[in-house]
């Protein structure tokens, strides 16, 4: 019988790529999510019955244990960028990760992979970064044999980074960014999934790996690079931190007074704390080289999905070629 992997958050941005790769390896894949009926897009990643979404509440021991029953490996892709309801940073990223690791040890699961993030720091002022670090500590407490992956900002067709800012260019001649000089090392989502795949297959040594792509650039430079891909001219404006704090405070206050009917997907005070710090691979950290993976560069990927934000969409290059012919 083929092996079974349980992927917590396997229908999300990173998780769906991990799910597809494990299915391609011939594994049966159990995708553990809060809303299985909204995760049906993963079923075609394998043959009939190979990929199965199941319900799981990461805050509940019994639910987590049921989802990993009989599995040979577990991969935790669950994370939140913005707290909503009971799914806060502590509950999901710290306690949830520790719970999966503890129960995987109790059930004798052979391998465990934890998706964390560059910047995870137990001493950070950011709740996001602090709970990522606490989650790592909880995993290693129960599973010192775990593989922990820390990607920088992740890009790909479904990302909320380049897609979000490219969409903003349709509305304004200006593109405001917070932390314009903060450096990032964007990493392609399928490269992160490939690292998780190797770890689940036992082809990666236990430990922490920091994953960044071949390019390091400031936030401002990344936006200008994106503008080149979508063939638009916009003025990139670096918002001062004091202005951003006022905006984030107002949005957070609106979230509070609306009883979270407004979930603040725009900018939070916690996100500001992360935007003030570089998000790049640390010197001496294990990374893609240690996994034998050559990460994709942005220029080879961004045009494949950002073309829809060009002035004429898929016809933009055709129109440009026609203009050249008339000239």
Question: Helix 97-106 to helix 127-142 angle, to the nearest 10 degrees?
Answer: 10
In-domain check, residue 196: yes
What's the rounded Cα separation, in Å, for the pair 223 and 13? 21
What pLDDT sits at residue 261? 87
* Distance between first and last Cα of the chain: 64
Confidence of residue 84 (pLDDT cuts 50, 70, 90): confident
In-domain check, residue 9: yes
Alpha helices in the chain (DSSP H): 13-24, 61-68, 89, 97-106, 127-142, 162-168, 189-200, 219-230, 241-257, 269-275, 288-291, 302-306, 316-326
**Averaged pLDDT for residues 101-115:** 98
Q: What share of the chain is helix, strand, coil (3-state, %, to 5)?
A: 45, 15, 40
Query: What is the per-residue pLDDT across 166-189, written as a single tens digit (0 to 9) for each?
Result: 999 999 999 999 999 999 999 999
Domain that holds residue 119: 4-154+186-212+279-295
pLDDT above 60 (res 327):
no
In-domain check, residue 162: no
In-domain check, residue 93: yes
Query: What is the per-residue pLDDT across 16-63, written as a single tens digit (0 to 9) for each?
Result: 999 999 999 999 999 999 999 999 999 999 999 999 999 999 999 999
Which is more confidently placed, 141 or 326? 141
Specify the residue for token string 């639910």.
63
Confidence of residue 316 (pLDDT cuts 50, 70, 90): confident
In-domain check, residue 326: no
In-domain check, residue 64: yes
The dihedral of CA 19, 10, 158, 125: what is its sign?
Answer: negative
Which is more confidently placed, 10 or 322? 10
What's the rounded Cα separation, in Å, for the pair 13 and 61? 25
What pLDDT sits at residue 60? 96
Q: Which of 226, 229, 151 is nearest to 190 (CA)?
A: 151
Question: Helix 97-106 to helix 61-68 angle, to the nearest 10 degrees?
Answer: 60
Give the whole-number percent of the chain exceeding pLDDT 70.
97
Quick check: helix, strand or coil at residue 58? coil
In-domain check, residue 58: yes
In-domain check, residue 222: no
The DSSP secondary structure of 195-243, one letter per residue, reads HHHHHHTT-S-SEEEEE--S--EEHHHHHHHHHHHHT---EEEEE-HHH
**Averaged pLDDT for residues 300-321:** 86
Query: How many independent structural domains does the chain possess?
Result: 1
List the CATH number of the domain containing 62: 3.40.50.720
Give the whole-number percent of the chain exceeding pLDDT 90.
90
What pLDDT sits at residue 1? 65
Q: What is the pTM of this model?
A: 0.95
Query: What is the per-residue pLDDT across 127-136, written as a single tens digit (0 to 9) for each?
Result: 999 999 999 9
Query: What is the per-residue pLDDT across 234-259, written as a single tens digit (0 to 9) for each?
Result: 999 999 999 999 999 999 999 989 98
């Amino acid at each position: 019988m083929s092996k079974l992997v349980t992927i917590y958050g396997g229908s999300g941005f990173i998780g769906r790529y991990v799910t597809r790769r494990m299915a391609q390896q011939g594994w049966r894949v159990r995708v553990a999510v809060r809303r299985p009926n909204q995760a049906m897009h993963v079923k075609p990643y394998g043959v009939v019955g190979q990929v199965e979404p199941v319900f799981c509440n990461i805050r509940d021991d019994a639910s987590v244990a049921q989802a990993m029953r009989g599995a040979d490996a577990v991969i935790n892709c669950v994370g939140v960028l913005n707290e909503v309801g009971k799914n806060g940073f502590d509950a999901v990223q710290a306690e949830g990760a520790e719970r999966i690791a503890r129960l995987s040890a109790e059930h004798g699961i052979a391998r465990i992979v934890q998706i964390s993030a560059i910047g995870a720091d137990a001493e950070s002022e950011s709740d996001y970064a602090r709970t990522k670090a606490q989650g790592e500590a909880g995993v290693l407490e129960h599973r010192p044999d775990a593989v922990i992956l820390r990607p920088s900002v992740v890009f790909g067709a479904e990302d909320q980074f380049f897609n979000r800012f490219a969409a903003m260019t349709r509305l304004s001649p200006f593109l405001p960014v917070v932390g314009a000089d903060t450096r990032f090392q964007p990493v392609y989502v399928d490269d992160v999934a490939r690292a998780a795949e190797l770890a689940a297959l036992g082809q990666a040594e236990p430990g922490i790996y920091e994953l960044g792509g071949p390019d390091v650039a400031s936030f401002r430079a990344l936006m200008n690079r994106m503008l080149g891909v979508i063939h638009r001219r916009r003025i990139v404006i670096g918002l001062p931190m004091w202005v951003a704090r006022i905006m984030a405070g107002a949005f957070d206050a609106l979230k509070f007074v609306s009883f979270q009917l407004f979930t603040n997907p725009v900018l939070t005070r916690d996100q500001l704390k992360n935007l003030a710090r570089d998000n790049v691979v640390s010197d001496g950290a294990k990374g893609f080289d240690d996994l034998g993976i050559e990460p994709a560069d942005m220029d080879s990927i961004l045009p494949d999905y950002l073309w829809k934000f060009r002035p004429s969409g898929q016809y933009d290059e055709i129109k440009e070629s026609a203009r050249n012919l008339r000239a």
